[in-house]
Amino acid sequence: MVPNAPPEIFMFMGINVFLVMGFSISIFEEQFPKPLPFILQIAALAGFGQIWMNYSLFSASIDTRFWSSLFYLAMAIISVIVINTYVGVRKKKLSSAGILMGVFTIPVSAISFFVISEYTNGIPISMPMLPIVPLQFLGAILVGSMIILGLSIYLYLKPEKLRDILAKRNQCKPTEITLQTHLNTDDIENQPLEEVKSN
């Protein structure tokens, strides 16, 4: 069914990703730079302009339409990954990054690769054949993203659990033995027994 669709299906997917991310970030705008939702919405509008260009200028070249649509979808997926990394690394909010990964990053990447592989294996495109992703494998990836989402929501609601895990991990680190520690131990061992007892 996917190969019968025009290559602009990738562009529609990218537009949806930009719109959903823009609206989601506008709800939690205190955690992100203020211009970011507007940039994502402008990128969605640019997708509609690219669709018009594909049909008006490149209607005869299926390869050009495919590659421009695929590039647009790749930019949408990369923006999701960058925003997810920003939340986890820069803001240091691991539970929020996990929620974002379970809701957006993993499902969007998996579904996009599934649609791309189905499309490229169904019509002659000047690119290497991608491996066909079975629908069961896609379901397993989505189940995995739901598990990540559930754990992240649990840690978001109970952040003390994450602090306890990190505190236990820090306690398990071995103590550092320095050269000064060895010198102090050697001095004590070389002292006569009477001096050690008097100390």
> pLDDT by residue (tens digit) across 122-169?
666 666 666 666 667 777 888 888 888 788 777 777 777 666 666 666
- Residue 126, CA atoms < 13 Å, CB-side half-sphere: 6
Collapsing DSSP states into helix, strand and coil, what is residue 173? Answer: coil
Mean pLDDT for 36-45 is: 91
For residue 44, the one-letter residue type is A
Instruction: Give me the pLDDT at residue 75, please.
Output: 94
- pLDDT at position 34 over 70: yes
% of residues, the chain, pLDDT over 70: 70
For residue 32, the one-letter residue type is F
Q: From the CB of residue 199, how many other CB atoms can be counted at a distance below 10 Å?
A: 7
**Alpha-carbon gap, residue 198 to 186, rounded angstroms:** 18
Residue 42 phi, psi (nearest 5): -65, -40
Q: Which two tokens stand for residue 115?
A: 């649609």
Instruction: Give me the pLDDT at residue 78, please.
Output: 93
Q: Structural domain boundaries of the chain?
A: 2-159
Identify whether the C-beta of residue 144 lies closer than 8 Å to the C-beta of residue 91: no
Q: From the CB of residue 102, how many other CB atoms can be counted at a distance below 10 Å?
A: 21
